[in-house]
Amino acid sequence: AQTVTQSQPEMSVQEAETVTLSCTYDTSESDYYLFWYKQPPSRQMILVIRQEAYKQQNATENRFSVNFQKAAKSFSLKISDSQLGDAAMYFCAIGGNQFYFGTGTSLTVIP
């Protein structure tokens, strides 16, 4: 079985500052992918960033980057230069044939 743990139910960040959302996971699979999804209030869940587990290089997508520590089974998301539009629920997920999601972190951006 695969599990995903997000230990921070809520986080806040000042606009233009940097914030890191934590995620740990457990899997017995050797080949898997890790994801961060964003769900703005009353809006659709969208993919933020994806990391292939076999790649050592951390994925980056504009202001979003990950810190992937495979041995520690950790996959944190860093948001740089936070913007008001970043306010959302963020879900960490592990995927292969099936997907498993964490319970989410609600991010508030303070103007």
41 binds other proteins (CB under 8 A): no
Q: Which of 84, 74, 77, 106 is nearest to 4 (CA)?
A: 74
16 lines the binding site for other proteins (CB under 8 A): no
Of 74 and 96, CB closest to other proteins: 96
Asked if residue 95 binds other proteins (CB under 8 A), the reply is yes
* 74/51 Cα distance (integer angstroms): 12
Comparing CB distances to other proteins, the nearer of 4 and 77 is: 4
Q: Radius of gyration over alpha carbons of the chain, in Å?
A: 13
- Note the maximum CA span of the chain: 42
Residue 100: closest CA among 34, 21, 22? 34
Of these, 43, 57, 72, 85, which contacts other proteins (CB under 8 A)? 43
Query: What does DSSP say about strands 99-101 and 74-79: parallel, antiparallel, or unpaired?
Result: unpaired
**Other CB atoms closer than 10 Å to residue 105's CB: what's the count?**
22
Q: Residue 87, interface with other proteins (CB under 8 A)?
A: no
Using CB under 8 A, pick the residue from 18, 61, 99, 108 that binds other proteins.
Answer: 99
64 lies in the site for other proteins, by CB under 8 A: no
Residues in contact with other proteins by CB under 8 A are: 4, 6, 9, 33, 35, 37, 43-47, 50, 52, 91, 93, 95-96, 98-99, 101-104
